[in-house]
């Protein structure tokens, strides 16, 4: 028994006649008949019964059909995976990133594509997570990194990591001990600059504060990441952001960071892909590309890899509002 015999057997069973299967497979009827006879001899049982309209599987034939479908699907999956290892992606991909994660991932993503996939035309669209979700649903982009699981619809999404959020300060004043983990209640009395309420990062912070009985002292609301960082760097206010968004400032010493907690304040990193557009590479290929980039930059981003992704890392939902 081999895969070719099983494919021919499946086609005969699904077509209901040897002649119909012959036309679909472009294999002569006598050859198909001989293959089925050989398969029956090998298995020691009849697989088909003849009727006035063609053939129908026997109980043994139906059992073999179930097993053949599983085996052939698995064989096709293995074949696609191995072929994919040697393919060089070509076509186009439009990927959406929020301003915070884009600060860390845009450059390594572009460099990786230039080195490994020179035939791939990459476009990067930057927007808040809620807008990225709308673009995905409208088919304007192929994939995005979101901070919530999309509810329903045709999108495919997978949790890949969790991103801790941190309190940031600049200027000469050091509001908390170096290396400390700071509960949200300790922010009371400090002026804060945060995004406006319609954005998910703000909603996440507000919910965390409310759950801990804390009312924060909001000084300003900015939907500009660069303006927020500039204000905090001058020491005019504190903010809450992921460290990945300010890695260069932390390295340069112009900003300082403290993890929030206990309890910790974290947000998920979700890879979401849309139905394939014409000329675009598949959602599976884009998701694999984004997964490699996230895993390779997890340490720099301070991200905790999801358990389902742990093996990939060693080798290489409920809807919420949009993120900052």
Helix (H) or strand (E) holding 114: helix 99-116
Reported confidence tier of residue 309, pLDDT bands at 50, 70, 90: low
Per-position DSSP letters for 15-73, written without gaps between them: HTSHHHHHHHHT--HHHHHHHHHHHHHHHTS--EEE-SSSEEE-HHHHHHHHHHHHHHH
Q: Specify the 3-state DSSP secondary structure of 214.
A: coil
pLDDT tens digits, 223-274: 999 999 999 999 999 999 999 999 999 999 999 999 999 999 999 999 999 8
pLDDT tens digits, 158-176: 999 999 999 999 999 999 9
Is the per-residue pLDDT at 311 higher than 70? Answer: no
- Domains belonging to the chain, first-starting first, are 3-86 (1.10.10.10), 91-161+267-315 (3.40.190.10), 164-266 (3.40.190.290)
Closest CA to 1 of 64, 79, 54, 70: 64
pLDDT tens digits, 43-70: 999 999 999 889 999 999 999 999 999 9
What pLDDT is recorded for position 80? 67
What pLDDT is recorded for position 321? 38
- Those residues whose C-beta lies under 8 Å from the C-beta of residue 208, and which sit 6 or more positions away, are 184, 260, 263, 265
Mean pLDDT over each residue of the chain, to the nearest integer: 88
d(CA 124, CA 94): 6
Only one residue has tokens 């801990």, namely 212
Is the per-residue pLDDT at 209 higher than 50? Answer: yes
Is the per-residue pLDDT at 278 higher than 80? Answer: no
Q: Which two tokens stand for residue 227?
A: 């303006």
What pLDDT is recorded for position 87? 54
Closest CA to 93 of 259, 214, 273: 273
Q: Which of 77-86, 187-196, 255-264 has the lowest mean pLDDT?
A: 77-86
- Those residues whose C-beta lies under 8 Å from the C-beta of residue 261, and which sit 6 or more positions away, are 181, 182, 183
Number of H helices, E strands in the chain: 12, 12
What pLDDT is recorded for position 320? 39
Reported confidence tier of residue 142, pLDDT bands at 50, 70, 90: very high
Closest CA to 296 of 323, 316, 318, 282: 316
Q: Which two tokens stand for residue 161?
A: 């990591």
Q: Specify the 3-state DSSP secondary structure of 191.
A: coil
Rounded CA Rg of the chain = 28
pLDDT tens digits, 102-120: 999 999 999 999 988 888 8
Is the per-residue pLDDT at 6 higher than 60? Answer: yes
Closest CA to 132 of 197, 199, 194, 203: 199
Q: Specify the 3-state DSSP secondary structure of 304.
A: strand
Closest CA to 191 of 145, 222, 152, 147: 222
Closest CA to 281 of 80, 85, 93: 93
* Angle (deg, nearest 10), helices 18-25 and 29-43: 110
pTM: 0.67
Reported confidence tier of residue 154, pLDDT bands at 50, 70, 90: confident
Q: Specify the 3-state DSSP secondary structure of 223.
A: coil
């Amino acid at each position: 028994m081999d895969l070719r015999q099983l494919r021919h057997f499946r086609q005969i069973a699904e077509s209901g006649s040897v002649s119909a299967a012959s036309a679909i497979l472009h294999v002569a009827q006598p050859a198909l008949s001989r293959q089925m006879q050989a398969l029956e001899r090998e298995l020691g049982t009849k697989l088909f019964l003849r009727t006035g309209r063609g053939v129908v599987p026997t109980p043994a034939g139906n059992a073999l059909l179930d097993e053949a479908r599983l085996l052939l699907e698995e064989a096709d999956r293995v074949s696609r995976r191995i072929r994919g290892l040697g393919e060089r992606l070509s076509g186009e991909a439009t990927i959406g990133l929020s301003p915070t994660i884009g600060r860390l991932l845009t450059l390594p993503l572009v460099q990786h594509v230039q080195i490994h996939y020179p035939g791939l035309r990459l476009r990067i669209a930057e927007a808040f997570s809620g807008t990225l979700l709308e673009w995905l649903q409208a088919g304007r982009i192929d994939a995005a990194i979101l901070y919530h699981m999309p509810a329903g619809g045709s999108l495919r999404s997978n949790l890949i990591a969790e991103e801790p959020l941190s309190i940031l300060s600049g200027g000469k004043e050091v509001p908390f001990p170096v290396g400390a983990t700071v509960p949200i209640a300790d922010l009371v009395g400090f002026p804060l600059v945060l995004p406006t309420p319609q954005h998910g990062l703000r909603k996440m912070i507000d919910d965390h504060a409310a759950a801990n009985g804390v009312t924060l002292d909001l000084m300003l609301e900015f939907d500009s990441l660069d303006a927020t960082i500039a204000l905090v760097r001058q020491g005019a206010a504190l903010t809450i952001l992921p460290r990945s968004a300010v890695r260069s400032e932390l390295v340069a010493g112009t900003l300082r960071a403290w993890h929030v907690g206990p309890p910790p304040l974290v947000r998920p990193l979700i890879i979401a892909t849309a139905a394939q557009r014409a000329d675009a590479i598949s959602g599976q290929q884009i998701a694999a590309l984004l997964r490699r980039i996230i895993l390779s930059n997890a340490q720099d981003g301070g991200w905790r890899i999801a358990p389902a992704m742990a093996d990939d890392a060693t080798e290489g939902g409920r809807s919420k509002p949009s993120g900052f």
